[in-house]
Amino acid sequence: MNLRGILKQYFSYLESVRGLSEQTLRAYRTDMERFRNFIEEGNLEWSELKPKDVRGFLGALSREGLGASGIDRTLSAVKGLYRYGQRFEVIGHNPFENVKSSGRSRPLPEVLSEPEILSLLSLPDESYPGMRDRAILELLYSTGCRVAEVASMDLKDVVRGKRAVRVRGKGGKERYVFLGTPAREALALYIGQRNGHVKPGSVDAGRALFLNLRGTRLTQRGIALIVAKYLRQSGISKKISPHTFRHSFATHLLDHGADIRIVQEMLGHSSISTTQIYTHVGLEKLKKIYREAHPHGKR
């Protein structure tokens, strides 16, 4: 099978079976376009690459100006293609199997302190948009949900008796996340006003939990703009996004003694290795406290 054919099958698999988001699929397509260009320009067969061809591809990525993280990401995408080919017996070997990544460590995520979180949560006013915004901010921090998960929530997903919300995560996986008292109260106040702001005749708006000011479903972009608005008001200088609430949720749970596997379940991570980055965030905090407090810490 030629490369274009296997790529078509591979992306269909990533979308329909793996359930990857459109944003992730776009990144994969960009990476695989680099690989396809290399193969076609060199008149190579993707299924018969030699070690020198692999080195040539890595060199081409470097000459293109990609940094270590960009090369690692592209390499990961190409390895995934070959693993797919082996799994479905389209190809017998993976020429990239023994190629190591740069080993570049992932940057630690930015995290808001507990006082900073409280400061942000106190900013929305008592108007209808303010009630909605407070409910969103409280929900992001109380549950650690991804922004896409919050944007896709429907009113029926709120399980009031159990103080929980049903979430549809990556790959279509469902899980339940829990609402603390502030989040539950903020959500109840918002829902009490929501029905009067639904766009008439819109079925999706009738289902959606969070609405924009036009009465239709609030998008990920809309949530990002809401977070940015309150960040400007807060005066917090950290570079944060809606995802920062997720980082802060996980870090604060671990700081207060939660088991990492429980946090993994709450975040909807398929692998605990993804969750472990938050233990490093906590370690950095401890190092900072040590350096500032111990008489010899600054030496």
Active site residue 146: yes
End-to-end CA distance of the chain: give it in Å, rounded: 62
In the set 146, 184, 194, 217, the catalytic residue is 146
State the DSSP H helix or E strand holding residue 58, giving kind and residue range, or none if neither: helix 51-63
Catalytic residue among 18, 243, 280, 285: 243
Pairwise CA distance, residues 43 & 298, whole Å:
58
- Is 278 a residue of the active site? yes
The residues, any chain, with a CB within 8 Å of residue 101's CB and separated by 6 or more, are 72, 75, 76
Considering the candidates 132, 184, 217, 246, report the single residue annotated as catalytic: 246
Q: Which of 170, 197, 199, 280 is catalytic?
A: 170
Question: Does the annotation mark 87 as catalytic?
Answer: no
C-alpha closest to that of 30 among 85, 68, 76: 76
Using the CB atoms, write b or e for 39-70: b if 16+ within 10 Å. beeeebebbebeeebbeebbebbeeeebeeeb
Which token pair is 268? 């909807």
Rounded CA gap, 261 and 243, in Å?
20
Instruction: Return the ∠ at Cα 284 (arms to 280 and 289), rounded to 5°.
Output: 145
Strand order in the sheet with 164-168: 158-159, 164-168, 174-178
How far apart CA 295 and CA 291 sit, in angstroms, is 8
Question: 């991804």: which residue's tokens?
Answer: 146
List beta partners, residue 159: 164
Active site residue 243: yes
Judge whether 91 and 82 are in contact, CB under 8 Å. yes
Catalytic one of 175, 269, 280, 285: 269
246 catalytic? Reply is: yes
Distance CA 164, CA 185 (A): 12
Catalytic positions: 146, 170, 243, 246, 269, 278
